[in-house]
Structure 1
Amino acid sequence: MTRHIRLAAAFCTLLLLALLVNATRIQVFQSRPYDDNPANRRQTIARYDQPRGAILVGGRSITGSRDSGEQLRYERTYRDGPLYAPVTGFASQEYGTTLLEHSEDGILSGTDEMLSPFPLWNDLTRAQNPGGNVVTTLNPAAQKAAYDGLGTRTGAVAAIEPSTGRILALVSTPSYDPGTLSGNGRTANRSWARLNADPDKPMLNRAVRQTYPPGSTFKVVTAAAALDAGVVTDLDAATRSPDPFRLPGTSTTLTNEGDGCADAPLRSAFEWSCNTVFAKLGVDVGVRNMSGTAEAFGFNDTGVRIPFAVSPSTFDTSVDRAQLALSSIGQYNTRATPLQMAMVAAAVANGGQVRQPYLVERTTRRGGETVSTAGSSRPVRQAMHPATAVQMKELMEDVVTEGTGTNAAIPGATVGGKTGTAQHGIGNSGTPYAWFVSWAQGERDMEPKVAVAVVVEDASADRSDISGGGDAAPIAKAVMEAVLGL
């Protein structure tokens, strides 16, 4: 009898060991497939079981969390949602995350291993860290000035600090309230359907995800290329540019909206945006040098992240001479985001150096301890010779003091700018895009403090007006004044 009891006990022990081995196999070695299985709602429930971390602007949280009392407990809330939507994006229980909410999701949701001093312990105990915070580089006054300046018009504004690449403002209109998408009920479903059906595309981030023909604002790049290549050595010497200018190899002629552009010196051609002069300069500089300068400014770079992805701005490198002429005045296949054109203005203001733009200053734990910082290790490119940058600053200042950009002048500050009215549509039938790019330096500042790019899609620009100074320049002025504290 004792023998049978021992056999039964041994068999039970083997069964127990088998259960333990199987449990270990499932919970340790096969935990990942079970965790990632769409049918497993534990991770989703745990994700929304605690408040999400904050996104901060000027030391103030622009996001929060609301206890819904449902199984997915906490829903995201937004303060001044439409104002900051092009920065935050949305965090939805139904539709996922976008923009900063997506790129910094690990920090904000508490799943990033850097938030825990003991990651292995968290893995064993399945403990979850409180969500961390994301501190942005935005200047709240500049952001508000840009948003108010655009108002009900369709367009975008990007402003950066030339010496560092810190993004000070990023606005896109029309905008939307991300909070309407936070939950998973019928309200969120209706908002999602409405926003996606809206022909004005309020969820499109025009500042970084939409490219436009930059028009005459691209003449900053062309002028820099001409000076660097030695095609122009004297800002006040005649350029031998006929008006009209026949595109090489074609019977098509290019004209100007105003008079006085024939053989105009670079200084006056830049002030009054002479298409014929810059088209010929682009041809004289050549595809190789024009492409090299454009790419040094950031065109054709597919890897820009701020930290979310930015649509690449493009300058076609496989063009004939006629197409190069059009490309050099910001038409043909030349396309740019407002952020890219802000980088162009910033490079002029920063001695020719291009600083990679960034939007996140640092990330922190909920208690405030820094997890990571940004900006210091970002690469720097030289877009033009420092001497060329000095000349370009002079040209841009002339545009504001006596050219097409006088609407951007700020008492008590030095301002440089370039206007542009970009044609588009079949046969250029669309309402022109009004552009303005600029930089500003206060009278007590040692260096320029802000560079701005503004595009207005539905500007009521008169086709006889050769610039976007009437629609876009006042918006840029308001942003620059906000940064300078004027």
Structure 2
Amino acid sequence: MTRHIRFAAVLCVLLLVALLVNATRLQVFQAADYEDNPANRRQTIARYGQPRGNILVGGRPITGSKDTGEQLRYERTYLDGPLYAPVTGFASQVYGTSLLEDTEDGVLSGADPMLAPFPLLGDLTRARNAGGDVVTTLHEGAQRAAYEGLGGRTGAVAAVEPSSGRILALVSTPSYNPEALSGNGPSVERSWVGLNEDPDKPMLNRAARQTYPPGSTFKVVTAAAALDAGVVTDVDEATDSPDPYRLPGSSTSLTNEAEGCADASLRAAFMWSCNTVFAKLGVRVGVGDLAATAQAFGFNGTGMRIPYAVAPSTFDTSVDAAQLALSAIGQYNTRATPLQMAMVAAAVANGGQVREPYLVERTTRRDGATLDTAGPRPVRQAMHPATAVRLRELMEDVVREGTGTNAAIPGATVGGKTGTAQHGIGNSGTPYAWFVSWAQGERDVEPKVAVAVVVEDADADRGEISGGGDAAPIARAVMEAVLGG
């Protein structure tokens, strides 16, 4: 009898060991495979079983969560959804996440193990913690001023703080309400199809993910290259530039919208945006130095994230002399996002230094305890400090008495540059109206904001002045909002 009891005990121990081994195999070694299996809905149910953390602007949530009482219980809601869509993106139960909702999903959904009071224990238990919050760098007044300024027109605005790289506004129009994609009902699919088939592309983030020919706003870069290279040593000296200017090696002549560009000084050419002067300067500077300056500003970079990816702005380095002349005035293959051109204006305002832009100030737990902060941003010297001082003067002239007077703010120092970018086959498209600028308040020790505005469907028949007529008032409103606090 005793022998049978021992035999049964050993068998029970072996069965227990086998059970433990199998449980370990399933719960440890194969857990990820089961979690990722499309047939396993537990993770999805858990993901939407609690409210999502919020995205904050100026300390105020611009997102929320709605209890539907369904199996996928909580759906995402948005306050002023179209206003902030280029920042938040969407969080959909069907179509996933985009933009900040995507890059910060671990914190917002509660999946980030750092949200646990004891992170190592959280890894072992695989428990889902309450979603954390994402605090943005946005200035609510600047964001709203940019959105309202664009109105019903197609375009984008980007604004940054020159000294830090903090993004103060990021607007793209036409926009959409991300809440239309939040749930999982039939209306969500209809909204998705409608938004993707809309020829106006409301889900396109034009401020950070669409590149345009920058037109004459690129002359800021060309002027910086010419001054740094010593091609121009006196901004008031005649440049020996003909009007019209025949592009090297071709029979094509470049003309100007403005009068008095023949042999104009750099100061006058910048103030009235003389194409002929800057095209010839670009050729004199050479592709190597002009490309190097453009790259120092951020062109041809491929890794910019804010934290979501930004489309690279480009300056073609494989050009002949005629193409280089056009590139120097922001045409040919030169392409830039509004965010990149805001960085160009910010570098002028910041003594020639470029700060990498960023959109997230910090992430926090639900109780407000900080998880992570942006920290100091890398600095890149785009031009000599003395060159930046000269360019500040030139940009101030544009606003004081040149093509950018519509950007002037009483009591503040404002610098700017207008632009009209040709595009389409044979330049047949309606030109894009551009304006880049920076502003410093009367009591500020340094410029507080740099802005870039592009309007795609502006009334741009008047060449360079259209940038001042269509885009400059929008930039002024954004700058006023920031300077006003």
TM-score by length of 2: 0.98
2:79 matched residue in structure 1: 79
**Range with bigger deviation, 457-466 or 393-402:** 457-466
Instruction: Write the distance in 2 (CA, Å) between the matches of 1:411 and 1:375.
Output: 34
Report Cα offsets for 1:251-286 as digits up to 9, x if no partner.
111111122111100000000000000000000000
Partner residue, 1:408: 407
Larger mean CA deviation between 36-45 and 327-336 belongs to 36-45
Instruction: Count how many residue pairs are aligned between Structure 1 and Structure 2.
Output: 485
Question: Hey, what does 1:3 align to over in structure 2?
Answer: 3
Preserved contact between residue 164 and residue 375 of structure 1 (Cα < 8 Å) = no
Alignment of 1:375-394 (within 5 A): 375-376=375-376, 378-394=377-393
Structure 1 partner of 2:141: 141
Counterpart-to-counterpart distance in 2, 1:5 and 1:88: 67
Any idea what SS the aligned residue of 1:75 has? strand
Q: 1:473 to 1:241 in 2, by over 3 A?
A: same
Secondary structure of 2:127's aligned partner = coil
The answer to whether 1:300 aligns with 2:300 is yes
Which residue of structure 1 aligns with residue 158 of structure 2? 158
Q: Which residue of 2 aligns with 1:455?
A: 454
CA distance in 1, matches of 2:2, 2:162: 88
Deviations 1:43-70 (A, max 9, x none): 1111111100010000100000001111
Per-residue CA deviations over 1:341-375 (Å, capped at 9, x if unaligned) read 00000000000000000000111110001111104
Any idea what the Cα deviations from partners look like across 1:406-461, whole Å, max 9, x if unmatched? 01011010100000010001111100000000000111110100000000000011
RMSD: 1.1
CA distance in 2, matches of 1:84, 1:232: 43
Which residues in structure 2 correspond to 1:362-373 (within 5 Å)? 362-373=362-373
Query: Partner residue of 2:394?
Result: 395
Shift in Å at residue 16 of structure 1?
2.5
Q: Which amino acid is 2:352 matched to?
A: G
Aligned to 1:275: 275
Partner of 2:347: 347
d(CA) in 2 for partners of 1:111, 1:465: 51
The residue that corresponds to 1:329 in the other structure is 329
| Local SS of the residue matching 2:230 | coil
SS at match of 2:478: helix
Q: Which runs of 5+ in 1 are unaligned?
A: none
Letter in 2 for 1:230: G
Q: Is the 8 Å Cα contact of residues 459 and 466 (structure 2) preserved in structure 1?
A: no
User: C-alpha distance in 2, partners of 1:465/1:266?
Assistant: 16
| In 1, Cα distance between equivalents of 2:245 and 2:144 | 43
Pair 1:239-2:236 in alignment: no
- The answer for unaligned runs of 5 or more in structure 2 is none
Distance 1:121 1:465, change over 3 A: closer
Match of residue 357 from structure 1:
357
**Which AA in structure 2 matches 1:136?**
T
Q: C-alpha separation between the residues in 1 aligned to 2:208 and 2:124?
A: 41
Q: Look up the SS of the partner of 2:94 in the other structure.
A: coil
Letter in 1 for 2:18: A
* Aligned partner letter, 1:412: G
Aligned position for 2:426: 427
State the match for 2:117 in structure 1.
117
Q: Aligned residues: percent identity?
A: 82
Contact 2:341 2:436 in 1 (8 A): yes
Cα deviation code 1:223-275 (max 9, x no counterpart): 01000000000111000111111111111111111221111000000000000
Partner-residue secondary structure (3-state), 2:440: strand
TM-score, normalized by length of structure 1?
0.98
**Does 2:252 correspond to 1:286?**
no
CA contact (8 A) 1:48 1:74 kept: yes
Measured in 2, the distance between the counterparts of 1:113 and 1:464 equals 55
Task: Tell me the residue number matched to 2:173.
Answer: 173
Indicate yes or no: 2:417 matched with 1:418: yes
Tell me, in whole angstroms, the C-alpha distance in 1 between the residues paired with 2:278 and 2:40: 61
- Contact 1:442–1:448, Cα closer than 8 Å, also in 2: yes
Rounded Cα–Cα distance in structure 2 between residues aligned with 1:375 and 1:18 = 51
**After the TM superposition, which of the residue ranges 245-254 and 332-341 deviates more from structure 2?**
245-254
Q: Which moved more, 1:185-194 or 1:384-393?
A: 185-194
Q: Which residue of 2 aligns with 1:223?
A: 223
